[in-house]
Amino acid sequence: MAYLTSSREGKRFLGNRDKMEVHDLKYGDTNQDGCRVDEFIKSGHAVGFIIDTLDQAHKERYTSCIRCINRTEKPVNPPASSATRFGPSGPQQQMRP
């Protein structure tokens, strides 16, 4: 379940009931145009979750904040595609019909 709260103390995940978004306080983007967690706490839109997991937040129909949650799920930089795919001794043009 989700419950209204006015503090981030002791929580890992905090929901914004206004936008139905859940934030990961461990990775929260505290920049000015970041998650604005403190802003929605002040506005009275903050909710905590029982239990305090991302799974639970999703069950409550909160969507993951792209700034702090998908951050940990982003793929690492793709390998440089311009790297030599075939070495100098790689396959020659032998695939003619």
Binding site for Zn ion (CB under 5 A): 23, 35, 65, 67-68
Question: What amino acid is encoded at 86 in this protein?
Answer: F
Give the shortest CB-83-to-Zn ion separation in angstroms.
35
When the beta carbons of 34 and 44 are compared against Zn ion, the nearer one is: 34
Distances (CA, A) of 52 to 5, 23, 57: 13, 11, 8
When the beta carbons of 31 and 84 are compared against Zn ion, the nearer one is: 31
When the beta carbons of 10 and 22 are compared against Zn ion, the nearer one is: 22
Give the shortest CB-8-to-Zn ion separation in angstroms.
12
Give the shortest CB-13-to-Zn ion separation in angstroms.
10
Burial class (CB in 10 A: 0-12, 13-18, 19+), 12: middle
Give the shortest CB-14-to-Zn ion separation in angstroms.
9
When the beta carbons of 18 and 78 are compared against Zn ion, the nearer one is: 18
Burial class (CB in 10 A: 0-12, 13-18, 19+), 8: middle
